[in-house]
């Protein structure tokens, strides 16, 4: 009985170690995603999305929810940096539901873009086509 308890605890400890290292690895792999978006590197963003999906089984919508650049979402970052290619790619990759949901500050992407004066942005146009 005591041996099986020790074995179970050892298995749990090893499992938690692997989970922690996988989380650290995905954070490391996503470290430069803000730079990729800001520099409007659509090809590199596609590679990053595919790599994270393949290596970690994480969908882009999960990455999008978990990553901010200077407190802003990835699409807001793209709008602020006139990164049309990466911004429109992300608009196409996310579900309509996610695009109309309020973000951390309580504003939707559309409402934020209008308030910040980005309503002439091609990203804003792509966003409105989707929603």
| Enclosing domain of residue 113 | 33-130
Among 53, 99, 52, 97, CA closest to 74: 99
Q: Is the pLDDT of residue 45 over 50?
A: yes
Among 69, 80, 82, 79, CA closest to 34: 69
Looking at residue 62, its pLDDT comes to 85
**Mean pLDDT of the region 95-117:** 92
Please check whether residue 55 is in contact with residue 29, taking contact to mean a CB–CB distance below 8 angstroms.
yes
The model's pLDDT over 84-102, given as tens digits with 9 standing for 90+, comes to 999 999 999 999 999 999 8
- Residue 14 pLDDT class (50, 70, 90 cuts): very low
* Number of CB atoms found within 10 A of residue 84's CB: 17
Say if residue 49 is in the same domain as residue 22.
no
Say if residue 11 is in the same domain as residue 39.
no
Say if residue 70 is in the same domain as residue 118.
yes
Say if residue 4 is in the same domain as residue 67.
no
Say if residue 78 is in the same domain as residue 40.
yes
Say if residue 13 is in the same domain as residue 72.
no
Say if residue 68 is in the same domain as residue 116.
yes
- Residue 28 half-sphere exposure toward CB, CA atoms < 13 A: 7
- Residue 28 pLDDT class (50, 70, 90 cuts): confident
Say if residue 63 is in the same domain as residue 125.
yes
Say if residue 15 is in the same domain as residue 49.
no
pTM confidence score: 0.77
CA distance 129 to 67: 24
Say if residue 15 is in the same domain as residue 68.
no
Say if residue 73 is in the same domain as residue 114.
yes
Q: What is the C-alpha radius of gyration for the chain, rounded to an integer number of angstroms?
A: 19
Question: What's the DSSP call for residue 57?
Answer: -
Q: Facing residues of 69 across strands?
A: 72
Say if residue 10 is in the same domain as residue 43.
no
């Amino acid at each position: 009985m005591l041996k099986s308890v020790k074995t179970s605890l050892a298995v749990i400890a090893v499992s938690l170690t692997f989970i922690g290292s996988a989380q650290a690895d995905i954070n490391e792999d996503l470290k430069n995603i803000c730079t990729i978006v800001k520099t409007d590197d659509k090809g590199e963003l596609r590679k990053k999305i595919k790599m994270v999906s393949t290596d970690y089984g994480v969908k882009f919508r999960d990455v999008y929810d978990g990553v901010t650049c200077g407190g802003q979402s990835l699409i807001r970052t793209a709008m602020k940096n006139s990164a049309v290619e990466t911004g429109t790619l992300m608009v196409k990759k996310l579900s309509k539901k996610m695009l109309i949901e309020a973000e951390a500050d309580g504003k939707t992407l559309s409402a934020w873009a209008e308030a910040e004066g980005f309503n002439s942005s091609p990203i804003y146009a792509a966003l409105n086509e989707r929603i």
